[in-house]
C-alpha cells in the first residue's frame, strides 16, 4: 500500500457490519435500510434486464433516460436547469462521484476544506489525489460550522470546499444564512465547491436548498447525489453529478478510467424512481422522521445524550452519561454486552479527542428492530 493510503485500512462500515454479522447483533451501524424501496422500481429493474436494456455497456455519461430524469428532478425540486447532454453525469454511486471529482479537480498540494467529522471516503479520495484535507470541526451539541473559522482556514493553496448537507454523521443541515455566507466566501476567494447531497430528501427541519442555486455558484459547484438513500436501494450504486459543462467534462474524464460506465439496467429503474410523485418523497421523509423520534426516545431512555438530527437517517449520541468515554472501545464491546452495533464517530475526526465520546446509530430500520435495539441498550445501565 502506498504512503498516501497507509492510514486508511478497512473502512469502519465494513468493520462494524462484519462485527454485527459475526455476533448476530442488530446492525444500527452502516446506513442501509432493512426494507427495499418501492416494488414498482424493483420491477422496473427486472423489466429492463428482460428487455435487454443496459445489459451491454451503456453510454459513458449514463443512459439518456436517466440523465433526462436527473435533469427533471433538479428542475422540479430546486428550479435548477441542467442540460442532460452536457451537465449531468451518472456514476457508480455517490462514492465514485466523490472520487472522480477529487481526482479530476485537485492538483497535488491543493488544500480541501471539509466539515469534520467527515464521511470516510472524503479523506481517502483527497489523499489519493495527493491533496491535503483541512478540517473545519463541527462541535456538539449543535454541530453548526463556525464561519469565521472557515474564513481563517482559507489560504492561497485552498482549491475547494467540500460540503455535505444534510451532514453524515451529525445530521446537521446548513441554514440558508450559512449557505449564503459560504457561497460568498467561495466567490470572494474563487474556490470550487463540491457538495454531497445524498440525504437531500431526508430533511426534517427546514428544507434542502442546493448551494448551486445561489448567485455566482452555478459555475463553481459540483453537486453530488445518489439513488441509494432516497429510494432505499443502496446496493444498486447509482449516483450522479450535476454541474456546468466544463466541470462535468472534467469529472467525466476521471470517471472514464475508474469504472468507464455504471451498471446499466438499474439506471433505467432509477430514471423511473426520480419521476415518482411528490407523495413518494413526502411519505418517505415522514416515515423516517417518525423513526428518528422513535430511536431518539429509546436512546434517551437508555441514558444517552441525544443530539437531535435535522436531516439524514443517523443520530449521534454521547456516551458520557453512561459512564463511558471511548466511542471506539464502546462500539467494539457493544455486541458482546447487548447485541447491538453502532459506529464510533471518533474515526471521522483527525483529532481523536474531538469525537471521542460520540457514537452514531442509524434509524433506517423496521420499527420492531428499533424497539428491540433500544430495549437492549436500556439494559446497559
| 13 touches, from ligand PMP, ligand GLN, none (C-beta below 5 to 8 Å by class) | ligand GLN
Least distance in angstroms from the C-beta of 37 to ligand GLN: 16
Q: Are 359 and 170 in contact (CB under 8 A)?
A: no
Q: How far apart are CA 225 and CA 91, in angstroms?
A: 10
Cα–Cα distance, 367 to 17 (Å, whole number): 20
Residue from the set 89, 94, 124, 182 that interacts with ligand PMP by CB under 6 A = 94
Q: Which residue is listed with cell 454486552? A: 337
Give the separation between CA 56 and CA 73, rounded to whole angstroms.
Answer: 26
Q: Which stretch binds ligand PMP (CB under 6 A): 229-237, 331-339, 351-359, 363-371?
A: 229-237
* 158 contributes a contact to ligand PMP by CB under 6 A: no
Q: Which three cell numbers stand for residue 138?
A: 463541527
> Of the ranges 184-192, 227-235, 240-248, 350-358, which one interacts with ligand PMP (CB under 6 A)?
227-235
Sheet (strand 358-362) strand order: 305-307, 314-318, 358-362, 343-344
Q: Which is nearer to ligand GLN, 242 or 345 (CB)?
A: 345
Residue 86 has what DSSP assignment? T
Rounded to 10 deg, the angle between the 264-274 and 39-50 helix axes is: 140
Helix (H) or strand (E) holding 315: strand 314-318
| Binding track over 84-103 against ligand GLN, x by CB under 6 A | --------------------
Report the partner that residue 226 touches, choosing among ligand PMP, ligand GLN, none (CB closer than 5 to 8 A by kind).
Answer: ligand PMP
Cβ atoms of 358 and 317 within 8 Å: the answer is yes
Bridge partners for 163 per DSSP: 195
- 309 lies in the binding site for ligand PMP (CB under 6 A): no
Give the nearer residue to ligand PMP in terms of CB position, either 131 or 241: 241
CA 369 to chain centre: 23
Q: Shortest CA distance to 372 belongs to which of 317, 315, 294?
A: 294
Dist CA 133 CA 356 (whole Å): 20
Kindly write out the interface string for residues 130-169 of this chain, putting x where it contacts ligand GLN by CB under 6 A and - elsewhere: --------------------------------------x-
Site residues (CB under 6 A) for ligand PMP, limited to 102-141: 119
Cβ-based nearer residue to ligand PMP, 120 or 180: 120
R_g of the chain computed on alpha carbons: 20
Cβ proximity of 358 and 326 under 8 Å: no
Measured from the CB atom, is 119 or 302 closer to ligand PMP?
Answer: 119
Q: Taking CB within 5 to 8 Å according to partner kind, which of ligand PMP, ligand GLN, none is near residue 8? A: none
Closest residue to ligand PMP using C-beta atoms: 93
Give the count of residues interacting with ligand GLN (CB under 6 A): 5
Cβ proximity to ligand GLN, 247 vs 288, nearer residue? 288
Q: Select 78 or 236, whichever has its Cβ closest to ligand PMP.
A: 236
Judged by beta carbon, residue 28 or residue 248, the one nearer ligand GLN is: 28
Given candidates 25, 30, 316, 374, which one binds ligand GLN under the rule CB under 6 A?
30
Residue of 195, 180, 192 lying closest to 147 (CA atoms): 180
62 binding partner (options ligand GLN, ligand PMP, none; Cβ < 5 to 8 Å by kind): none
CB 373 within 8 A of CB 20: no
DSSP-based three-state secondary structure for 262: coil
Residue 77 makes contact with ligand GLN by CB under 6 A: no
How far is it, in rounded angstroms, from Cα 17 to Cα 15? 6
345 binds, among ligand GLN, ligand PMP, none (CB under 5 to 8 A by kind): none
Contacts of 2 (CB under 8 A, 6+ apart): none
8 forms part of the interface with ligand GLN (CB under 6 A): no
Instruction: Mark residues 313-352: x for contact with ligand PMP by CB under 6 A, - for none.
Output: ----------------------------------------
Helix (H, G, I), strand (E, B) or coil at 364: coil
Binding site for ligand PMP (CB under 6 A): 31, 93-95, 119, 164, 168, 196, 198, 226, 228-229, 234, 237, 239
Amino acid at each position: 500500500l502506498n504512503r498516501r493510503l497507509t492510514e486508511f485500512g478497512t473502512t469502519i462500515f465494513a468493520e462494524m457490519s462484519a462485527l454485527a454479522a459475526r455476533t448476530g447483533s442488530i446492525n444500527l451501524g452502516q446506513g442501509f435500510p432493512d426494507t427495499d424501496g418501492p416494488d414498482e422500481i424493483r420491477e422496473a429493474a427486472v423489466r429492463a434486464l428482460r428487455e435487454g436494456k443496459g445489459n451491454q455497456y451503456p453510454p459513458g455519461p449514463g443512459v439518456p433516460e436517466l440523465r433526462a430524469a436527473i435533469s427533471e428532478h433538479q428542475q422540479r425540486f430546486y428550479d435548477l436547469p441542467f442540460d442532460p447532454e452536457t451537465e449531468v453525469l451518472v456514476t457508480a454511486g455517490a462514492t465514485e462521484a466523490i472520487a472522480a471529482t477529487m481526482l479530476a479537480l485537485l492538483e497535488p498540494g491543493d488544500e480541501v476544506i471539509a466539515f469534520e467529522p467527515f464521511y470516510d471516503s472524503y479523506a481517502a479520495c483527497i489523499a489519493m489525489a495527493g491533496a491535503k484535507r483541512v478540517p473545519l470541526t463541527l462541535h456538539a451539541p449543535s454541530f453548526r460550522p463556525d464561519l469565521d473559522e472557515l474564513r481563517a482556514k482559507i489560504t492561497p493553496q485552498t482549491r475547494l470546499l467540500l460540503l455535505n448537507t444534510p451532514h453524515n454523521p451529525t445530521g446537521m443541515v446548513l441554514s440558508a444564512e450559512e449557505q449564503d455566507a459560504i457561497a460568498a466566501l467561495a466567490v470572494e476567494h474563487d474556490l470550487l465547491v463540491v457538495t454531497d447531497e445524498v440525504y437531500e430528501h431526508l430533511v426534517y427541519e427546514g428544507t434542502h436548498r442546493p448551494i448551486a442555486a445561489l448567485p455566482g455558484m452555478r459555475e463553481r459547484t459540483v453537486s453530488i447525489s445518489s439513488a441509494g438513500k432516497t429510494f432505499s436501494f443502496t446496493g444498486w450504486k447509482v449516483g450522479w453529478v450535476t454541474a456546468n459543462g466544463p466541470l462535468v467534462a472534467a469529472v467525466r474524464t476521471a470517471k472514464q478510467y475508474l469504472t468507464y460506465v455504471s451498471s446499466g439496467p438499474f439506471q433505467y429503474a432509477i430514471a423511473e424512481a426520480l419521476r415518482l410523485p411528490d407523495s413518494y418523497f413526502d411519505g418517505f421523509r415522514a416515515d423516517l422522521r417518525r423513526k428518528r423520534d422513535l430511536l431518539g426516545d429509546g436512546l434517551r431512555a437508555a441514558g444517552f445524550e441525544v443530539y437531535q438530527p435535522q436531516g439524514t437517517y443517523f443520530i449521534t449520541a454521547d456516551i458520557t452519561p453512561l459512564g463511558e468515554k471511548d466511542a471506539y472501545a464502546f462500539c467494539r464491546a457493544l455486541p458482546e454486552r447487548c447485541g447491538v452495533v453502532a459506529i464510533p464517530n471518533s474515526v471521522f475526526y483527525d483529532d481523536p479527542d474531538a469525537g471521542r465520546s460520540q457514537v452514531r446509530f442509524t434509524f433506517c430500520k423496521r420499527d420492531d428492530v428499533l424497539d428491540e435495539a433500544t430495549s437492549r441498550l436500556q439494559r446497559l445501565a
